[in-house]
Structure 1
Amino acid sequence: MLNTITQDSIRTEVTFRHEKGMHARVAAMVVHKAGELQNRYNVIFKVQKDGYSEVPLDSILLLIELRIKANDILELVTYGELANEASDEMKRFLEGGFSFGDPNAIYKIDDILQNNLLTADNIFKHIANGLVVINEKEDIIMFNSEAERIFGMSASSVIGKKILDVLPNSRLPQVVKTLKPEIAYTNRIGQFTVVSNVTPIMIDQSCKGAISIFEDITKLVHISWELNEIKELKEKYQLILETVQDGICVINQTGVITYINAAYQKICGESYENLIGKNVMEVAPKGNRAKVLNSGRKIIGGITTKSNGTQIIANVTPIIVDGRGTGVLSVVKDITAVKELVDKLHKVSAKAAYLEEELIRTKKIGPAFDRIIGTGGKIMDAMAIASKAAGSRYTVMINGESGTGKELMAEAIHYSSDRAGEPFIRVNCAAIPPTLMESELFGHEKGAFTGAYKTKYGKFELANNGTIFLDEIGEMDKNMQVKLLRVVQNREFQRVGGEETIKLDIRIIAATNRRLEDLVKEGSFREDLYYRLNVIPILLPPLRERKEDIAILVETFTKRICEELSKSKVTYARSVMDALISYPWPGNIRELENLLERTLLLLEGDVVTLKDLPSYVIEHMPSSEIQTAEIVEVSSGKVESWETYEKRIIEHALLQYGSCNAAGKALGINHKTVSAKAKKYHLID
């Protein structure tokens, strides 16, 4: 060996000539020759091939690892003062014929050596364990596939390098020095935890290197069913199978029942002993399990009747392991229980849907809807739709009779939307003459017609980014409907006399007290415009259909009117509320509000009675109710005797109900009492 190595070196291209390649015996001859020349010339030889690093030429294992074949081109690297002479002699040797005696005997030996070398090489490279081997100089001479996977390095990048340069924490050099093996120690390599054995390589009482064999512990966990985690998992699965309510049956590839759980025994009315070991091809050859076993196709929702009369629904699927059918799994449920569950689910779903609907109807929809008074179902439905519509940009059509609050609903939609800070423009289509409608809606340019002294902005332009409310849309002239259609469709228009197309970002709300469907049939309203406007229809019910809201409307209006008139608190006789509820209110809420304003303005005192109401309102009360009201109310402040009132009440009851028995039930007293009172006051004989 050299004591020192100079920087002098020479690189020479060499073509390896031996026709059998660098097999074991040839490699030995090359190592021998390299050692001889290194000693003679005081040099070091290394060789490089393909992607491998420089490999010492005096290591037989490294040379074999290079897999040099006949006519492979190598790069011979020679270090030392006499590198040129040594390189020439070594090149002649490598490119020589390697004649070693009897060719036939040599070829046989070569074949044996080569076959054994390839076999050993394949074994080492593909064993499940990782394998790293170094020589006595601590050069890596073997690095198999599992080592490549665990360390994340390729063999070609590490072969021939010093082990500590590649793996700084390796224990291989320590074992080479101490000659003491280290067995079954655990260490962490990146994301892997491995168990390693490191032993020295001893030949003729001399250490020639060390070998490390290591195994990924994770693999051991996966392949060992006896490990504690696997045992625990098996116990958990077993517990689940035994406690679920579904019946479970497993059969093997020949049709023999190998497992049933307790639920399956209960549902099918069979004991464990009567089922386990039976073959379904014999006991139920036409059943779902036999069909799936034969076809390999699953059956979902199969309904059958067992021998005990129980009707079951079954899901039967093949068990496939590694692409091969190994049996069948059947999961069954008593269909009676399923039906009961479905019935319960339907009831719960219906109840939930009802409660959700009621929640939507009754919850506080938003402050903008506070001005809309009422708690009845129809008005709450309308507000729920309006609240949802407020969150979109779609066109809304409000239908309702005059006085039902269409404009109030339109305002609530606008002020509940994200356009609340933008303009809300009202247009009463019935109040604008047809000749002025286009100018009112779209504006006009200066000089567009006689009298157009300046540019005028129309209602649509004023409402840009906000909402335009087109009230009484059914009264719009049909020619104007064509022009409106373009705005509704494209959100664009032109001023009268102008050529510029103005784009709009606008929310359109239309309203009508007429049935637009009838107008479409008559031909006075365009069908295409109707469908463009009627995207989200909202129906406001007339007051006669929401009489449950009259009391709260009266209370709200009364409070406001009294504040305006500086009146003290006003109350209403029961008969007055009955009269207001009986009246059909053709003018709807507006008529009710006007009536209360007039009544409270003229009221003397703080109690409203029937005499304070207009006669046309009272006339809609049943005559019996009017008579009862007249009996109960005290007129002109005069208090009469108790017997006078009692006589009137008994008389009225008899007139209305026709018998003492019916009158007594209505008055809440015994029919004998009614009869006695009637005779007392000479009302009956």
Structure 2
Amino acid sequence: MEGRREILRTPVSIHSQIAAHIVQKVSHISRQNNVSIFLRKINDSRLIPANSMLSMVTFFASRGEEIEVVVEGANVENAIKEFKGFFYNELGKEKEEKTTYELLKNTSIAYEKIFNSIGSGLIVTDENGAIMIFNKAAESITGINMDQAIGKKIQEVVQDIKIADVLKTGKEEMNKKLKIGTNVVLTNITPICTDQKIEGAVIVFYDFPQIEYLENELKRNRKLDKAFDIIIGNSGKLKDALTIASKAAETDSTVLIRGESGTGKELVANAIHYASKRKDKPFIRVNCAAIPVTLLESELFGHERGAFTGAVTQKIGKFELADGGTIFLDEIGDIPPEIQIKLLRVIQEKEFERVGGIKTIKVDVRIIAATNKDLEKAIKEGTFREDLYYRLNVIPVILPPLRERRGDIPLLVEHFIEKLNKKLNKNVKKVTKKAMQALIYYDWPGNIRELENIIERCITLSDNDYIDYKDLPHYIRNESAVISDDDIIYLGENNELLTMEEYERKIIKAALQRYKSFNKAGKVLGLTHKTIAAKARKFGLVDR
């Protein structure tokens, strides 16, 4: 396949009306010459399929601006010649209307905000299965960069998606299972009223990662409190924290989630948002520690063109993107004092200015912050503002470390095995008793995130359908934590042995109290849920 790149200077400002003209002409040139034509702005890494109205609707260029044209296929030379003739001769005659350009450009920015604020992965293809739209969530789900996906056939990006029937019949398909550990909805695009007839397919991912499950289930009119069901655990400290979080979801009050790294702070923040009245509005995540200090202000509040070296276009900040919804400020303890002042103003006045701007922007945003740092100590050291602390700490939610909720480890292990089996295409069914005892005894400095990583490592490296003691890393294996099969537990008076039936009743009662269901208790005890139910009725542990 041949390819050619050429730099052209636009004879007219390109907006969505002009884009419709380009799409129509490019579609004809592409069919005649068996080529694919892409456009790219010089300062942008994205290649936009020039025959796709849904992609071109967000492509804007000012008059005189340089753009790169990329042509790939059979008859490249003739195609580039035809395109240049059209570009300079026909487009150059288009009437220039600055007000129309600005209006449509603002509309385009709104489209991009919507696509990238959707919690679920979104891919849109044309009638031939070529990708036209690929949002940020789709990037994280597939592990493929948007720049690499745009213009490619969907099968090259997600191999086990089959959209031929959807494109042919237009019939929606629900709950398609994929190897990457997620479900999808496949549907067709209804043709819209433009000069360019648009047809194709829409692929929406959900149930990956866990937070995407919340959004889709809630949109199916699930009760609000169901948002917290995705958080695994029955320990008292965790339940206390979730009770506070669920009550916070009913209000717009600022929430400060505290806990060690890996305790699930982002998952709780997601649950609060999707259980709130803002659930249909954007949920914007910002990791304050991951963004360089010099860029953090621009990332949060945006900047105007020319505000600093390299600011060649206007940028919309995270607070503006979150308008009407929720912004989650993770690692809030890492933001520098100069930005803390501006953040304090946003919380108090609900307004800010972009970097280099003079216009005051009003926003309606609910703030959820999180940190693993000792903010009280930071206040004493002068690195965190006391007034900001009190503004953030309206409703504190304290998540316990995993070592303080060891009883939840078997539940978490079971959950991760089920999740990772799908992701890794494995069939691990259980963890041996000795391995589970070692997992429960270990202190887990990395908390739930570390536990999930260890289970993934064990599943990946194990050749069996179970995780054994020897599969665990050496620093987790601890012989002193393992109870020998010869150990005898005396539960009767005067350290006397009980009857087998009495032991059986106590064990089943303890399992039901901890795991709350016949199915989960049965899995832990190695019995079927029917056996557990029958014995529970026999011992009077449940109503008959």
Higher relative contact order (CA 8 A, sep 6+): 2
Task: Tell me the TM-score normalized by structure 1.
Answer: 0.39
Task: Tell me the TM-score normalized by structure 2.
Answer: 0.48
